[in-house]
Amino acid sequence: MRLINLIFLVALTFSSFQSRAVADTGTYCPIAQEYLQGDALEKAVSMRAKTAKYCLICEGDRCSFNSKNMESEQVEKLCKVSFCVPTKLRKTLFSENTWTNFSAKIYYSINEKGRGELTGVEFTSGSLPRKQLAEYEDVVERQLGSTRWKPIEINGQRISLDNLFFLVRYYTN
């Protein structure tokens, strides 16, 4: 009988959005650390209209963070709290497979309905055989699918937020 492995998502160097997070390869928006509810959520959503032009670059209904405007820590934190902090999240992932040790960068987007969509996996250390990679991507897709964000509306139009990533580490004993 296979043991169920528990994968803890560990956001590397993340503490309340204080890491330098905008890079050419995307914007660091971890999903396993914090989430918004109640008054905090309403305040963040109410700030979106004021911060969208400064924080986002959009083409049609697809947007990404504007790295040029996110050079200060305060601006970066404001933009991320406004647009990429989840309202509901699943902190752990389960699998019946035994994987080797690895670290990876998980690329995703938040669609116009406020749901996460996997766009890629880049291993930063270690790797997985093709079959295990397919299963791991399934597990991550389920996690992203169960994580929710408040849908983003700009001028009455719902948009997706692209080019986001978070970091994971998986270690077996």
Would you list the domain boundaries of the chain?
5-170
- Tokens for 10, please give them: 């560990």
pTM, two decimals, is 0.76
Give Cβ neighbours of residue 71 (< 8 Å, ≥ 6 apart). none
Q: Ranked by mean pLDDT, which of 113-117, 132-136, 141-145 comes out on top?
A: 113-117
More confident residue, 49 or 66: 66
DSSP structural state of residue 106:
E
CB crowding 52-86: b at 16 or more within 10 Å, else e: beebbebeeeebbbbbebbeeeeebebbbbbbbbb
- Tokens for 13, please give them: 């160097």
pLDDT of residue 65: 93
